[in-house]
Amino acid sequence: MKFFRPCLLFISIILFGWLLMSNTNLINVAASLNESEINSQIEKVNSFSEINGLKEFAIERINYIEVIRHRFSDNAMMRIAVICLSFNSNCTLHNKSFPFKNIEQIMILGVYWFYKFPDGLYDYSFFKFARGLGGHANDAAEIQARVFVKDLEQFLGEIKTLKQQYPKAYLSIKTDGSDLLINIGDYNLSDYHFQFAEEIEQILKEQNAISISNDTPFNKVQSYDFNNGSEMIFERNNHTFISRVGSNFKKHNAENTALRIDCHLSLKHKKDFIDDVTQICIKEDISVFYYNDSEFEGKVNVMLFFTNGRQKKDKIQNVNVNSFGDKVLHLFEKYSAKIGHFGGYDHYPKNGPFIELMKDQEFIIN
């Protein structure tokens, strides 16, 4: 062990050194995109007198951005791997058992709320909606309640029992005496989370709870952790040809998150290809599949979208994105399909959407 520990420490130092250099490179890339560069690009755009030249320039810039995006994505995954490896090394060095979980390959797709409350679907007496700020790299959306309860121990006991029915929801409760601050938070608040809040509200009503002001200070704060053993999901996508995309606002202020694949293939194979993709969706627990296309010169560009409907307590659909991607790659080989679109902007897939599988359509497509 005396020899093993220094080796692990040395490896950790090397990995963190690489991590520092990697982040420095990213900073240099960002710094290169300065004001003069932006002005230069604007001058190039203004210099075009023909629309075809402008289109070619735009396509060139889009392709460049796509390359940078994939590079940053790969670098990010490498940095995560380094952090995980270093963390596990430190755990071994100190001979402690940490509740660290491996990164899973599953995603929860479908309908969610982040910026706006689902008006017309839920109505609370105690809970209020706090929208997410700045996007998924910043503050999560939350459902919050500030209340006074007479019997704190009984309330916490009932909450602990209820939480077992909602293992995928994050719950935080802070108390100051009998004053409580209750938070249910996530970057994708689905029906599942709002149903959880409804059941907590029922307990609060049975306790004759009283709402308290947001200005009420919490001086002697005690926090309660109800998330031990929760099914926390860390998403990892090994297939760079699969993108994760959002949407604009749909019915009841809903948004939805979907997987997107761009490809092209021979027009004569299109129907069989789409039929086979539909069967893969059914096997991989994907209930929504639609696409746009553009047919030309015996070829077809397709933009495929995969998602699910509303995610509720009685049915949460976990999509194994890598298993799904593996099956799609086999279809690419079978039908000689190629990743990306062919033929430039004029053949961008604008026709559609053509629906193959659908659920909760008013929350997916306007």
Structure-derived torsion over alpha carbons of residues 287, 292, 297, 299, reported in degrees to the nearest 10 = -30
- Are residues 302 and 345 both part of a single domain? yes
Is 163 within a domain?
yes
Is 103 within a domain?
no
Mean of pLDDT values over 105-114: 85
- Are residues 216 and 166 both part of a single domain? yes
Considering 200, 225, 250, which residue would you say is the last residue of a domain?
225
Residue 36 pLDDT? 46
Given a cut of 90, is residue 30 above it in pLDDT? no
- Are residues 170 and 81 both part of a single domain? no
7 pLDDT band, cuts 50/70/90, is low
56 pLDDT band, cuts 50/70/90, is low
- Are residues 122 and 213 both part of a single domain? yes
Is 327 within a domain?
yes
- Are residues 248 and 356 both part of a single domain? yes
Mean predicted lDDT score pLDDT of the chain: 80
Distance of CA 70 to the CA centre of its chain: 17
Given a cut of 60, is residue 38 above it in pLDDT? no
- Are residues 278 and 193 both part of a single domain? no
Q: Which SS3 state, helix, strand or coil, does residue 118 take?
A: coil
Q: 8-22, 73-87, 282-296: lowest mean pLDDT where? A: 73-87
Dihedral angle sign, alpha carbons of residues 246, 249, 250, 255: positive
Residue-wise pLDDT tens digits, 66-89: 444 444 444 454 454 444 444 444
A 10 A CB-CB count for 37 gives: 10
Structure tokens at 163: 């939480």
CB 194 within 8 A of CB 200: no
How many structural domains are present in the chain? 3
- Are residues 215 and 322 both part of a single domain? no
Is 329 within a domain?
yes
Residue 49 pLDDT? 67
Dihedral angle sign, alpha carbons of residues 74, 75, 76, 81: positive
- Are residues 252 and 355 both part of a single domain? yes
Is 165 within a domain?
yes
The CATH number of whichever domain residue 137 belongs to comes to: 3.30.70.600
Q: Which residue has the tokens 């553009």?
A: 294
Is 101 within a domain?
no
Q: Which domain holds residue 197?
A: 116-225
Given a cut of 50, is residue 328 above it in pLDDT? yes
- Are residues 270 and 358 both part of a single domain? yes
Residue-wise pLDDT tens digits, 211-270: 998 877 777 778 787 776 554 455 567 889 999 998 999 999 999 999 999 999 999 999
The CATH number of whichever domain residue 255 belongs to comes to: 3.30.70.380
